Structure 1
């Protein structure tokens, strides 16, 4: 119970900054999953949560955990980084051994997770494309976030670009 209270107070402190509030929500989600508190996790998700997955079907670990199809301890999600991007997006990445690299992209509205995208063994680049002219895409200034898998130099990962 104390862990929930500290998470709630952390989220209250960051209410004035949507990026920090959203990051705190996603951090809370991973902490609560690690302790098996699925009721708390369910309270962080919109009832009409939009799902998207890229990778081998048998690797849809987070989807199975969030729907209750598998236990919280079947696959351990320990994010190596959690980054807020803008007022409504948080990206988390982690790896569990050499063959399990994952990226989760969470979209939030009013402190509630409304969309979830799970990428497994995929290199992801998040770029802003809104006001840029087509010939300007590709400059480093439009890259908001990029995968940093630990053992990338030893293997190749398929890549995707996510436009924000």
Structure 2
């Protein structure tokens, strides 16, 4: 069945390619829709990354407060001469600081992903702006308007000739 499915898929791909080759306007519409879909996906991804980064920043702030608190506890335990308690508190502090480094690393990774998404969005905008108007569906509207105006002028001229002639 898998072979049958692959054959069907290949046949449909060929038919689509032939159809699009025969209908450049449809090809342009398809490309435009794909670009819009890609842009929508990238905008959604950017929002998701922003929310994740904000959540990560909040966790880091909470963790920073917890680290500050445990540093004070270590100092208080040492000042009171409770060295075994201070050592246990310091071990916990080390664990918290490692979590903080991991969180910073994750936040940096989110930042890189965000930059990649922004670059992809910018590339789409640049590609859209650099697409010649004649390649965009409806992009040759000025040309169409001019052709229509010429057609109407020709029709009116023909009408005048018939009346005079």
TM-score band by shorter chain is under 0.3
- State which structure, 1 or 2, has the greater radius of gyration over its C-alpha atoms: 2
> What TM-score do you get using the length of structure 1 for normalisation?
0.23
> What TM-score do you get using the length of structure 2 for normalisation?
0.23
**1 or 2 for the larger relative contact order (CA 8 Å, sep ≥6)?**
2
Q: Between Structure 1 and Structure 2, which shows a larger proportion of strand residues?
A: 1
